[in-house]
Amino acid sequence: MTNRADIDQRAAMTIDGAAHSTQSANDTTIAVSFARATNLALISIDGTGSIRFVNPSAAKLFGYERAEMIGCPVTIIIPERMRGAHTGGFNRVAGGQKPSLGGKTVEVSAIKKDGTEFPIEITLSVWRDENGMGAGAIIKDISERRERDSKLLRMANQDTLTGLPNRHRFIDLIRDELQAERPLTVVMLDLDGFKDVNDTHGHSAGDCVLQAVAVRLPYLLRGDAQVARFGGDEFAILLPNVGDPIAAQSEAKAIVDAFATPFDVAGHVLDLGASVGFAIAPAHGSDEEELIACADYALYKAKASGGRACRMFDHSMKSETLTRRLMRDELLHALRNGQLELYYQPQINLEDGRVFGVEALIRWNHPVRGLLLPGAFLPALDQSALALEIGWWTLDQASSEAARLWAIGRPDIKVGVNLFPAQLRAPNLCEKVAGSINRHGISANALELEVTETIALHDNDKSLEVLTALRQTGVGIAFDDFGTGFASLSSLQRYPLTTLKIDRSFIANIINRPGDAAITKALIIMSKELGLDTIAEGVETEEQEQALRLLGCPSAQGYLYGRPVPAANLEQMLVAQPLAKLANM
């Protein structure tokens, strides 16, 4: 088989002209005709480094007439800073050394007649015959490819709305500072009242505010500070060489104070504040993820205090963070060793008692503490990589159960799967969902992905885009625990929902609190008008069920119908009692 190097050498030798060719006249004529017609740039030089042949494509590429290049040193197309290295290498090869780049394709810089420097891809070949040493090159302009690569790199590292670095790039910046063993402060900032801007003035106004913040923040800060946008209205700031708590506190307070000045956006004067949390390296952490987590926890404390405040991470928070980290280590062990399991709770049609769906709920079979519910361990995950891993595991297990339900003759039952916040922000969520569906051979409508309204609205536009893409695959989308977050009623029209799940807090007091009953009734009516399925969560008594029937609620879920059970128990129950109430299971 002829390899690329052989082809390159043969082409380079033939274009060196009939005087130096050992081929037949006919072959030489064909080769020269090809060299002149091809859009590949071809150049050949002799043992002195002078250009012996250049085809029209090469002359055009470098901005010369062919006659101008013939006989000139090849260094006319080599940038001045690279000529010394070229000459040294050429002389070594001319002296008999084996060429290190012979037959290889490399990317280097070249220079045109007008002095413009540009990137090329070049494949070199070297030969020796009765006329001495010769060399040839096949050259390709890769300027457009480099520009595409640069654009992709910018997209990977830059927030498209504000032009600021994104989370990925920000982590790299912190890592660089830590590797240089310099002190630094990481600041996390969240706007107070931003959601009201979106709800009142629209998302275009919200985008304008975010762009204005991207301008205001760098203006406030020292010249070496780096500002990034993480998503939604959350920004991050890196303050290099700030390791003193007093200096860091001063910088953070200045940011909060600066946001007391209203924003003027499209004729609207918007009074927004900012909450800030910060952490210092090395005092509060020694790696980038830890520092961001510490600053984010301090931000949470600032928000919890009422907003428009700054908080520094302290050792009590450190203790809590350490506890979370140890819990994550245990969870990773649990995932790797089969200690995690999905339980399933039935969802009931209130009209006929039919089981039409189940919600997958994660449990941890802890070797010491026994069976743990999600509240005992999921808060430790936050936005960690482990949250994603457990989220993908949950999705896969639920899809597997949907396939088993089909196999036992219950394809009518959909499986609800809770999405982690980290999954909703993962760029490959749609691919992961599609992959799980295909892997288990189920219909897309066998799954319903559940997100809480608070999670979905954290990065409103991005969440809308992701959920819309998911809905287009055929899976259902449910708003879980609805009524406890900050979703406006108008947001229900924007999101591609299939189901609204009314939070258990309203159902618990539906009998003795008229206000909760009124809210529940309003949600049922609104959901029906929007064409959504409605599920009341946390139904525990027949009195609650009767109240929901009177309010027109079509379906429910709760201990009245059955506690969450392992997959094997669920399948036995569905085969034995497909339409019965499950309270005694």
What tokens were used for 481? 């625990």
Return the DSSP state at 270.
E
Residue 130 within any structural domain of the chain? yes
The last residue of a domain, from among 145, 167, 185: 145
Q: How many CA atoms lie within 13 A of 56 on its CB side?
A: 8
C-alpha span between 358 and 476 (Å, rounded)? 13
Find the CATH number of the domain harbouring 81: 3.30.450.20
Contact status, residue 284 vs residue 294, Cβ threshold 8 Å: yes
Q: Which region holds residue 235: left if phi is over 0, alpha if psi is between -120 and 50, else beta? A: beta
Domain assignment of residue 360, yes or no: yes
90 and 235 assigned to the same domain: no
Boundary of a domain, candidates 268, 289, 313: 313
- Residue 245: the pLDDT is 94
User: What is the model's pLDDT at position 255?
Assistant: 93
Q: Kindly give the interhelix angle for 567-576 and 385-407, rounded to the nearest 10 degrees.
A: 30
Instruction: Label residue 204 left, alpha or beta by phi (over 0 means left) and psi (-120 to 50 means alpha).
Output: alpha
d(CA 95, CA 81): 23
What's the N-to-C CA distance of the chain in angstroms? 70
Asked if 477 and 328 sit in the same domain, the reply is: yes
Residue 150 burial (CB < 10 Å; 0-12/13-18/19+)? Answer: exposed
CB proximity list for 530: less than 8 A, separation 6 or greater = 492, 493, 497, 500
Asked if residue 411 and residue 516 are part of one domain, the reply reads yes
Whether the CB-CB separation of 564 and 343 falls below 8 Å is answered with yes
CATH code where residue 228 lies: 3.30.70.270
pLDDT score at 256: 93
DSSP letters for 286-338: SSHHHHHHHHHHHHHHHHHTTSS-EEE--HHHHHHHHHHHHHHHHHHHHHHTT
Same domain, 213 and 233: yes
Cα 166 to chain centroid distance, Å, stands at 10
55 near 38, Cβ under 8 Å?
yes
Predicted local confidence at residue 583, as pLDDT = 44
Angle of helix 167-179 relative to helix 288-304, nearest 10 degrees, comes to: 120
Domain that holds residue 73: 4-145
Residue 152 lies in a domain: no
pTM, rounded to two decimals: 0.54
What is the reported pLDDT for 9? 44
Residues ≥6 apart with Cβ < 8 Å to 545: 350, 539, 556, 560
Write down the pLDDT at residue 21.
43
Q: Judge residue 143's burial from the number of C-beta atoms within 10 Å of its C-beta, 0-12 exposed, 13-18 middle, 19 or more buried.
A: exposed
Q: 328 and 309, same structural domain? A: no
Neighbouring C-beta atoms of residue 121, cutoff 10 Å: 14
Looking at the 3D structure of the chain, how many domains does it have? 3
Does 195 lie in the same domain as 92?
no
Residue that the structure tokens 């946390």 belong to = 538
Are 518 and 474 contained in the same domain? yes
**In the structure encoding, which two tokens stand for residue 507, read together?**
């159902």
On whether both 136 and 183 belong to a single domain, the answer is no
Distance of CA 585 to the CA centre of its chain: 42
In a domain, 348, yes or no: yes
Residue 153 within a domain: no
**What is the pLDDT at residue 27?**
58
Whether 21 and 164 map to the same domain: the answer is: no
What CATH number is attached to the domain comprising 451?
3.20.20.450
Residue 150 within any structural domain of the chain: no
If asked whether residues 303 and 338 sit together in one domain, one would say no
Which two three-digit tokens encode residue 283? 């005092």
Rounded mean pLDDT for each run of 10 residues along the chain, 585 residues in total: 42 44 56 74 91 92 94 93 85 80 81 93 86 87 82 72 90 93 95 79 86 89 90 93 94 92 82 92 89 89 82 80 80 95 95 93 95 89 78 96 92 94 82 95 96 70 85 93 62 86 92 91 92 94 95 95 91 62 45
Distance CA 90, CA 46 (A): 11
Query: Who's near 345: CB < 8 A, 6+ residues apart?
Result: 358, 359, 361, 557, 562, 563, 564, 565
pLDDT at 361 (0 to 100): 97
Q: Are residues 140 and 259 in the same domain?
A: no
Q: Pick from 81, 115, 145: which residue ends a domain? A: 145
Same domain, 209 and 242: yes
581 occurs within a structural domain:
no
Per the domain annotation, does 331 fall within a domain?
Answer: yes
Q: Which residues contact 289 (CB under 8 A, 6 or more apart)?
A: 171, 384
